[in-house]
Amino acid sequence: MNAKIITIVGGGSTYTPGVVKAILSKKDTFPVKEIRAYDIDEERQNDVAIIVNEVVKAICPECKFFTTTDPKTAFENTNFVFAQIRVGKYAMREQDEKIALKHGAVGQETCGCGGLAYGLRTIYPMVEILDMVEKYAAPNHWILNYSNPAAIVALALKKLRPNARIINICDMPVAIMNSMADILHCDPHDIKPDYFGLNHFGWFTNIWVNGESRFAELKQHAMQHGYLCDVPDEQHWEPSWVHTYGNVKPMMERFPDYLPNTYLQYYLLSQDIVDDSNPDYTRANEVMDGREKTLFDAIKRYKETGAYDDGMFVVGAHGTFIVDLAESLCRENGGRYLLIVKNEGAIADLPDDAMVEIPCYVSPRGIEKISIGHIPTFYKGMIEQQYACEKCLVEGAMENSYNKVLQAFTLNKTIKSSTQAKAILDEMIIANKAYWPELK
């Protein structure tokens, strides 16, 4: 395999050191000659690069690493683009969460009205990235996109740039499967899931470990403990994640057919989530006081003392999943992954143009979707409502339509009424004035 060039978009992310470590940890099977970090926030990116440089020196000093704010420098002849942008940073995430909670609705990054707000901020910046990559990158490049909210972004990009060489992904199912592996005392790589849904809105319908179904065992555990186990997921150590993994228990008690994605708590337990939330201290605050503070405090110490602490970040599912996928796109036997792809009949009961999250085989030949067939009425109805919400939002962004966006907010299962939807939307328009398309 020829050594690759990888560009990380959102180079100032706290995830970047972990992604780079994951890349270089596979240098024997997935050689990389150059890693570029691209971000519009030069100061933040340069700070994060201090840690990334230490990672490169420790693992693969022959790999070239540099940062840039220039698109041509970032994307020229690159083979892979790993996109992880956060438009508006955590300050806007905090606004999203607190505005929603102020009005008695779920305040969350990618689900409910917070996810809709984040989607309106992210669609067109992602279009700009796709256009720059298309202009400068190697002809057979791939964009592997983590940028949230992935369901809305994937749907919008498929409409606006249908021929882009992009694969939209999410690490949450992988993180859940890591917990399943801890519960089952097996290697996560030995797990093969059956799964269907939209991103952050799906269900595991079977779990195979080395060809044997362990689904009944997992369901029994989830009925009693959710996805909590004796070995905590090191990426999700904060109290809110412990609560989230525990919330699988009531979802399973009520709807025991399939194992839910943890994000379904915001739709199936929305009132419980609101009641348990602190409107003055949300998940955004927890991240800023946790992962963000840990990394940037370490950067400050490094600047002052030159001391480098490898424990300031973790690789986790975020880093390993995207690198495994990139390697599979270069390896003849490839691999099997949950990806966000155009439905086109894979789930028989859903529209062909829906962007669904299902198992796929990946190889240098591209993506081969696994057919799901028909799904039960309850799950079909849930997905159709969420898809209609996301489609209205994308159309609202494309048409600059206030009415379409209001329809999206009203359709969302976390919103109680159009009165609540309008109050939240109108306040979010003011908060997002610098980021959203103008709605008329």
Q: Is 389 within the bounds of a domain?
A: no
What is the spatial distance between Cα 227 and Cα 246, in angstroms, rounded to a whole number?
A: 6
Q: Which one is predicted more confidently, 388 or 242?
A: 388
pLDDT tier, 1 (very low <50, low <70, confident <90, very high otherwise): confident
Selecting among 38, 227, 263, 266, the annotated active-site residue is 263
Structural domain containing residue 101: 4-169
Q: Is 259 within the bounds of a domain?
A: no
Which helix (H) or strand (E) covers residue 174, if one does? Answer: helix 172-184
Residue 185, C-beta contacts closer than 8 angstroms, at least 6 positions apart: none
Q: Is 353 within the bounds of a domain?
A: no
Q: What amino acid occupies position 79?
A: N
What integer is the mean pLDDT of 399-406? Answer: 98
Selecting among 38, 39, 118, 171, the annotated active-site residue is 171
Is 93 flagged in the annotation as binding? Answer: yes
- 432 pLDDT more than 60: yes
The helix-helix angle for 16-25 and 316-328 (nearest 10°) equals 40
Q: Is 419 within the bounds of a domain?
A: no
What integer is the mean pLDDT of 307-332? Answer: 86
96 in Cβ contact with 118 (< 8 Å): yes
Q: For the domain that residue 124 is a member of, what is the CATH number?
A: 3.40.50.720
Q: What pLDDT, on a 0 to 100 scale, did the predictor assign at position 310?
A: 73
440: three-class secondary structure by DSSP:
coil
Is 225 flagged in the annotation as binding? Answer: no
What is the spatial distance between Cα 322 and Cα 22, in angstroms, rounded to a whole number?
A: 9
Residue length, the chain? Answer: 440
- 333 pLDDT more than 90: no
Q: What pLDDT, on a 0 to 100 scale, did the predictor assign at position 234?
A: 46
What is the spatial distance between Cα 354 and Cα 283, in angstroms, rounded to a whole number?
A: 29
Q: What angle do CA 400, 401, 404 make, to 5 degrees?
A: 135
User: Is residue 171 among the annotated active site residues?
Assistant: yes
Q: What pLDDT, on a 0 to 100 scale, did the predictor assign at position 237?
A: 61
Rg of the chain in Å (alpha carbons): 21
81: three-class secondary structure by DSSP:
strand
- 235 pLDDT more than 50: no
Q: Which one is predicted more confidently, 152 or 238?
A: 152
What integer is the mean pLDDT of 33-50? Answer: 97
Q: What pLDDT, on a 0 to 100 scale, did the predictor assign at position 132?
A: 98
Which helix (H) or strand (E) covers residue 159, if one does? Answer: helix 150-160
- 220 pLDDT more than 80: yes
Which helix (H) or strand (E) covers residue 421, if one does? Answer: helix 418-431
Is 283 flagged in the annotation as binding? Answer: yes
CA-nearest of 60, 77, 62, 78 to 23 is: 60
The percentage of residues in the chain with a pLDDT greater than 90, rounded to a whole number, is 89
Q: Is 319 within the bounds of a domain?
A: no
Q: Is 406 within the bounds of a domain?
A: no
For the CA atoms of 255, 258, 261, 267, the dihedral, rounded to the nearest 10 degrees, stands at -30
What integer is the mean pLDDT of 270-282? Answer: 96
pLDDT tier, 231 (very low <50, low <70, confident <90, very high otherwise): low
What integer is the mean pLDDT of 39-54? Answer: 96
Q: What pLDDT, on a 0 to 100 scale, did the predictor assign at position 230?
A: 63
Window from 63-72, 127-136, 137-146, 312-321 with minimum mean pLDDT: 312-321
Average pLDDT, the chain: 95
Q: What pLDDT, on a 0 to 100 scale, did the predictor assign at position 219?
A: 97
Window from 48-57, 179-188, 275-284, 294-303 with minimum mean pLDDT: 294-303
Window from 201-205, 282-286, 320-324, 330-334 with minimum mean pLDDT: 330-334
What integer is the mean pLDDT of 316-326? Answer: 91
Q: Is 41 within the bounds of a domain?
A: yes
Q: How many domains does the chain have?
A: 1
H, E, C per residue of 358-417: EEEEEECCEEEECCCECCCHHHHHHHHHHHHHHHHHHHHHHHCCHHHHHHHHHHCCCCCC
pLDDT in tens, 286-306: 999 988 998 898 899 888 888
Residue 373 burial (10 A CB sphere; 0-12, 13-18, 19+): exposed
What is the spatial distance between Cα 231 and Cα 259, in angstroms, rounded to a whole number?
A: 20
Q: Is 254 within the bounds of a domain?
A: no
